Amino acid sequence: MVSQEELFAAVDALAAEEPQLPPPAERARLREAAGITQARLAQVLRTTPQTVKNWENGRSEPRPPRLEAYQRLLDAWGKKHPAPGTVLAPPAAPVPVPMPVTTVAEPPGPATAPAPVLTSPEPSAPAPVASAAPRSVPTRPTAGVGAGAPRAAGHKKAAAADDPRYAHGPLLVLDGDGTAHGRDGLVLECPARTIPQLVEWTLAQPVGAPALNRNGQPSDPLVVLTAQAAVQLGLPERLEGHEQRAGLRLPEDHPIVKQIGRAKWKLTRRGFGPWARVYRPAKAGQRQCVQIAVLSWGALDERSWPGLAAREPEEIARALTRYADRVITPRGGTAVNGLELMTALRPPTRAARDESGNGWVSAHNPGSLGTQPVDPAPPEATAEHPLAQGWENGFLHEEVYDWVRDLDTVTSEAGMPFAIGLDVNAAFLAAASRTPVGLCAPVHARRPAFDKKVPGSWYTDLSHVELDPRLPSPFTPSGERPTGPAWYQTHTVAYAIELGHNVEIQEAYLRPEYGAFLDPWHDRLRTALLETMADLGVEPGMDDAAFLAAMEQARHGDPAARAVLAAVKATAKGGIGKLQSRARGLNYVRGERWPELERPTWRPDIRAAIISKARINMHRKMRAMASVGLFPLGVLSDCVVYPAPTASPLSLLPYTESGKPLPGCFRLGVAPGLVKLEGVQTMEWAIDLIEQGGNPAQLIKGGHDAVLDGGE
DSSP-assigned letters across all residues of 517-534? TTHHHHHHHHHHHHHHHH
Three state DSSP letters for 200-228? HHHHCCCCCECCCCCCCCCECCEEEECHH
- For residues 633 and 404, the answer to whether their CB atoms sit within 8 Å is yes
Is 676 in a helix, a strand, or coil? strand
Fold of 19-80: 434 Repressor (Amino-terminal Domain) (1.10.260)
C-alpha–C-alpha distance, residues 698 and 415, integer Å: 22
- For residues 51 and 42, the answer to whether their CB atoms sit within 8 Å is yes
Is 675 in a helix, a strand, or coil? strand
- Residue 246 confidence (pLDDT): 46
Closest C-alpha among 187, 185, 165, 164 to residue 177: 187
Q: What is the DSSP code (8-state) at residue 668? A: B
pTM: predicted TM-score of the whole model, two decimal places: 0.79
- Residue 356 confidence (pLDDT): 78
C-alpha–C-alpha distance, residues 551 and 547, integer Å: 6
Which stretches of the chain score pLDDT less than 70? 1-19, 85-161, 241-247, 703-712
Q: Determine the Cα angle at 518 with ends 515 and 524, to 5°.
A: 140
C-alpha–C-alpha distance, residues 607 and 340, integer Å: 15
Note the pLDDT tens digit of each residue in 160-185: 557 889 999 999 999 999 999 999 99
C-alpha–C-alpha distance, residues 508 and 61, integer Å: 68
Note the pLDDT tens digit of each residue in 2-15: 566 666 666 565 55
Paired with 418 in beta bridges are 644, 682
Query: CA dist 241 to 245, 248, 253, 274, Å?
Result: 7, 10, 15, 15
- Residue 12 confidence (pLDDT): 60
Phi, psi of 141 (to 5 degrees): -75, 155
What percent helix, strand, coil does the chain show, rounded to 5?
35, 15, 50
Indicate where the chain has its CATH 1.10.260 domain(s). Answer: 19-80
